[in-house]
Amino acid sequence: MPPTPGIPPPPPAQQAAFGRPAEVAGSFAGDRPTPPPRPVPPPPPEAVLRAFAPRDGATGLGEPPGGLPGRRRRTSSGPWWKPDAAADPWRDPWSPSGLGAPAQYPQEPGAVEPAVADEPARVKLRVRDLPLRLSVLALLALVFVGAVGGTTAWFLGRTADEEPLFAPGTQLSEVSPGTTREPGSVSDIAARVSPAVVSIEVRLANAGATGSGVVVDADQGYVVTNNHVVSGADGVEGAEIRAVFSDGSGSAARIVGRDPASDIAVLKVEKPGLIAASLGSSDDVVVGDPVVAIGSPLGLAGTVTSGIVSALDRPVRLSGEGSDTNAVINALQTDAPINPGNSGGALVDGTGAVVGINTAIASLGGTGGGGGSIGLGFAIPIDTVRDISEQLISTGKAVHATLGVNARSVTDGTRDGALVVNVEPGSPGADAGIREQDVVIAVDGGQVGSSEELAVAVDAHAPGDVVTVEVVRGGSSREVQATLGAA
- pLDDT, tens digit, 9 for 90 and up, residues 257-287: 999 999 999 999 999 989 999 999 999 999 9
pLDDT at 183: 82
Q: Which of 174, 184, 296, 303 is nearest to 243 (CA)?
A: 296
Whether the predicted pLDDT of 350 surpasses 70: yes
Residue 55 belongs to a domain? no
Q: What is the mean pLDDT of residues 76-85?
A: 56
The domain that holds 380 is classified in CATH as 2.40.10.120
Residues 358 and 213 in one domain: yes
Residues 277 and 392 in one domain: yes
Residue 63 belongs to a domain? no
Residues 200 and 323 in one domain: yes
Catalytic residue among 199, 212, 228, 282: 228
User: Which pLDDT band, with edges at 50, 70 and 90, does 72 fall under?
Assistant: low
Catalytic residue among 212, 231, 323, 343: 343
Residues 143, 457: Cα–Cα separation, whole Å? 93
Q: Which of 406, 409, 377, 376 is nearest to 487 (CA)?
A: 406
pLDDT at 123: 53
Residues 252 and 389 in one domain: yes
Residues 224, 211: Cα–Cα separation, whole Å? 11
Q: What's the pLDDT tens digit per position in 403-450?
A: 999 999 998 888 899 999 999 999 999 999 999 999 999 999 999 999
Q: Look up the pTM and report it.
A: 0.64
The single-letter DSSP state of residue 283 is: G
Residues 233 and 362 in one domain: yes
Q: What's the pLDDT tens digit per position in 200-243?
A: 999 988 888 899 999 999 999 999 999 999 988 888 888 899 99
Across the chain, mean pLDDT equals 83
Which residue, 366, 398, 430, sits at the end of a domain?
A: 398
User: Which pLDDT band, with edges at 50, 70 and 90, does 56 fall under?
Assistant: low
Which residue, 339, 368, 398, sits at the end of a domain?
A: 398
Residue 327 belongs to a domain? yes
Which residue, 398, 413, 429, sits at the end of a domain?
A: 398
Residue 193 belongs to a domain? yes
Q: What is the DSSP string of 27-87?
A: SS-TTSPPPPPPPPPPPPPHHHHHHSS--TT--STT--TT--TTSPPP-SS----STTGGG
User: Which pLDDT band, with edges at 50, 70 and 90, does 192 fall under?
Assistant: very high
Residue 108 belongs to a domain? no
Residues 353 and 415 in one domain: no
The single-letter DSSP state of residue 464 is: T
Residues 338 and 434 in one domain: no
Residue 344 belongs to a domain? yes
pLDDT at 51: 75
CA neighbours closer than 13 Å in the CB half-sphere of residue 153 = 6
3-state helix, strand, coil in the chain (%, to 5): 20, 30, 50
Q: What is the mean pLDDT of residues 164-190?
A: 82
Residue 423 belongs to a domain? yes
Residues 352 and 463 in one domain: no
Q: What's the pLDDT tens digit per position in 317-347?
A: 987 667 888 889 999 999 999 999 999 999 9
pLDDT at 208: 82
343 is catalytic: yes
228 is catalytic: yes
Domain, as residue range, for 430? 401-486
The domain that holds 447 is classified in CATH as 2.30.42.10
Strand pairing report for 303-319 and 290-295:
antiparallel
Provide the number of structural domains found in the chain. 2
Residues 189 and 309 in one domain: yes
Residue 335 belongs to a domain? yes
Residues 350 and 260 in one domain: yes
Catalytic residue among 212, 231, 263, 335: 263
Residues 311 and 458 in one domain: no
Residues 425 and 283 in one domain: no
The single-letter DSSP state of residue 434 is: -
Residues 63, 85: Cα–Cα separation, whole Å? 13
